[in-house]
């Protein structure tokens, strides 16, 4: 009996320890502005690993141009870097919104060579937003690059409720958002779970009004 106990303890002790998860903390991300940079307000939050480098746009630079990201993160891996960009898109009305599939399609066209077997697209919903998530791997400038992307839109019920009052914050809350992470395939594979966790934690700071 005692021998069994000792052997069990030894076996447990010899188990390989799991890699501890990266330390993460909640960070806020500002919204876009409508021409005046000082308009920007804390709109989103996400759990970001401490090791990621954050790059914010200049406080004096207007972010009306949706080609500019509202926030950027860099993951360094030796001489290689993964770039994670967050964009938001405001539209005058619900029918003008570009579907998430169009965003994903645009990202796929950025590859020089992309095997459809290396592309995986799945629906996803979180925080009142729904959309599509893409994992892809292909060649850009003859380098094997991996991509993780999320194209998200606010659900119609929430859009309707926020449209009841036309204010800057409501317009920003109604924005679609995208998260795109791309970098060398091996490095992306190494940090894939952290990137997924970051995107999964991404949400509006303020709660959405319940349609129920």
Partner 1 sequence: MKWFKSIYSLLSSLSFALFLIAAAVLLVIAGTLLEARTDSHLLAAQWTYHHPIFSVLLGCFFINILCSALRRWPFKLHHIPFLMTHLGLLMILTGTIWKNHFGIQGHLYLLEGSGSSRLMLPHTLALHIEKRGIPNHLLYDQLPLTLGEPLKVQSQQFPELTIRVLRYTPHAKAYFESWMKGQYGWIAGLPPIPMQSWSKDQPLSIACQMHPYPQLNVRWDAAALLTDDIEQALQTAYENQTELIVTVKENPLVSQRFFLNEALQGTVPCLGGTLKTTCRLPCSLVDGLVNPHLELEWTCGQEREYVILPLAGTNALMPQLQSRLGPSKSRFDFDLKRPPLIVLINDSHQECHVAAFDPYGRLDIQTFSPHQWDSLIVYDQGFGGYAIPCHIPFPAYPSSRQDKMLAEQAQLAKQLEQVVDQHTTLAPPVQLFKETCDQAQLPFASLFVEFLALWSRQPHVLMHPSSSASPDLQTVLQKLAWDQIPSVKQGCQWINLLFGQLEDSLRTGSSIKNILKTHRWPLMTHLQTDEEDERHLLQQLAQQLLGLSSHLPPVPERTSLSSEQLFSAYLQAYGLDYHTLLPEQPAEKESFALLQAYHAGRSLDPSLLKSDAIHLETPLSYRHTAALPPKLEDQRPCLLIEVKKGSAKEMVSLTYDPLAAGLKWPVFGEYLLRLQPQWVELPYHVRLRQAKQLNYAESNQPYSYESDVWIQEMDQSPVEASLSMNHVYETWDGFRFYLAGMSSSREGIKQVQLVVNQDPVKYLLTYPGGSLVALGAILLFWLRPYRRK
- The token pair at 95 is 């029918």
Distance CA 205, CA 212 (A): 20
Shortest separation between residue 79's beta carbon and partner 1, angstroms = 34
Our CB check for partner 1 shows the closer of 178 and 182 to be: 178
Q: Is 118 among the residues that bind partner 1 (CB under 8 A)?
A: no
Nearest to 74 by CA among 60, 84, 64, 89: 84
Q: Is 204 among the residues that bind partner 1 (CB under 8 A)?
A: yes
Shortest separation between residue 37's beta carbon and partner 1, angstroms = 28
Of residues 54, 55, 160, 189, which one binds partner 1 by CB under 8 A?
A: 160
CB proximity list for 128: less than 8 A, separation 6 or greater: 154, 155, 158, 204, 208
- The token pair at 54 is 């954050």
Shortest separation between residue 140's beta carbon and partner 1, angstroms = 23
Shortest separation between residue 203's beta carbon and partner 1, angstroms = 6
Residue with tokens 């914050």: 169
Q: Is 157 among the residues that bind partner 1 (CB under 8 A)?
A: yes
The footprint of partner 1 (CB under 8 A) covers: 123-130, 155-158, 160, 164-165, 200, 203-204, 207-212
């Amino acid at each position: 009996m005692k021998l069994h106990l000792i052997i069990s303890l030894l076996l447990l002790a010899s188990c390989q320890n799991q890699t501890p998860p990266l330390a993460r903390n909640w960070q806020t991300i500002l919204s876009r502005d409508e021409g005046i940079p000082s308009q920007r307000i804390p709109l989103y939050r996400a759990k970001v690993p401490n090791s990621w480098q954050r790059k914010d746009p200049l406080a004096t630079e207007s972010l009306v141009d949706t080609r500019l990201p509202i926030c950027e993160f860099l993951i360094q891996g030796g001489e290689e870097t993964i770039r994670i960009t967050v964009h938001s898109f405001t539209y005058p009305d619900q029918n003008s919104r570009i579907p998430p599939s169009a965003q994903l399609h645009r990202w796929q066209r950025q590859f020089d060579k992309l095997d459809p077997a290396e592309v995986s697209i799945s629906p996803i919903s979180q925080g009142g937003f729904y959309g599509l998530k893409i994992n892809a791997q292909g060649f850009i400038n003859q380098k094997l690059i991996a991509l993780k992307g999320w194209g998200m839109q606010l659900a119609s019920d929430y859009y309707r409720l926020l449209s009841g009052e036309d204010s800057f914050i409501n317009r920003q809350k109604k924005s679609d958002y995208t998260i795109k992470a791309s970098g060398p395939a091996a490095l992306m594979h190494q940090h894939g779970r952290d990137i997924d966790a970051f995107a999964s934690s991404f949400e509006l700071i303020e709660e959405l009004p319940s349609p129920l």
